[in-house]
Amino acid sequence: MSEGKYSDRTAGIVVTHGKLAEELVRTAELIVGPQEDLYAVSGSDLCDESVIGTIRGILARRKDAHVIVFVDYFGGSCCINSVRAVEGETGIKVMSGVNLPVLLAFATKRGTMPFDEMIDHLIRRGRESLKVIDL
């Protein structure tokens, strides 16, 4: 893994049902401090077209930065609407199964490795965060 400073400041959009996106972003910021270019979108309070429009509005401000759209679970309406919102765009990945360890890894590692390496790192972090605690 290449360590160092990369000019690419990857933006993140968390899209979930209910208030989960807001709470994940808020909790991550409580732990690591305020985050630029990290947005929360609730898919529950908006119709499909509004969710898509909200995501596209955020993307319009990204100034050619890479973007990871984190969604709560694969195949749900948040995932489907996120995929629809980014169709045809480059430098954007939609990642399902967002959790706090993944979001913390994103917040602390972005800008330190190439985009594709970041994606692989986040997937590993998500897998590693699932543990059975034997008592």
pLDDT at 6: 53
Percentage of residues of the chain with pLDDT beyond 90 = 83
Coil, strand or helix: which one is 129? coil
What confidence tens digit (pLDDT) does each residue in 75-113 have? 999 999 999 999 998 899 999 999 999 999 999 999 899
User: Both tokens of residue 70?
Assistant: 């984190």
User: Both tokens of residue 31?
Assistant: 């732990």
- CA–CA separation, 114 and 66 (whole Å): 10
Average pLDDT over residues 50-74: 92
Residue 126 has pLDDT above 90, yes or no: yes
User: Both tokens of residue 55?
Assistant: 């995501």
* Ordered structural domains, the chain, with CATH: 11-128 (3.40.50.510)
How much is the pTM?
A: 0.91
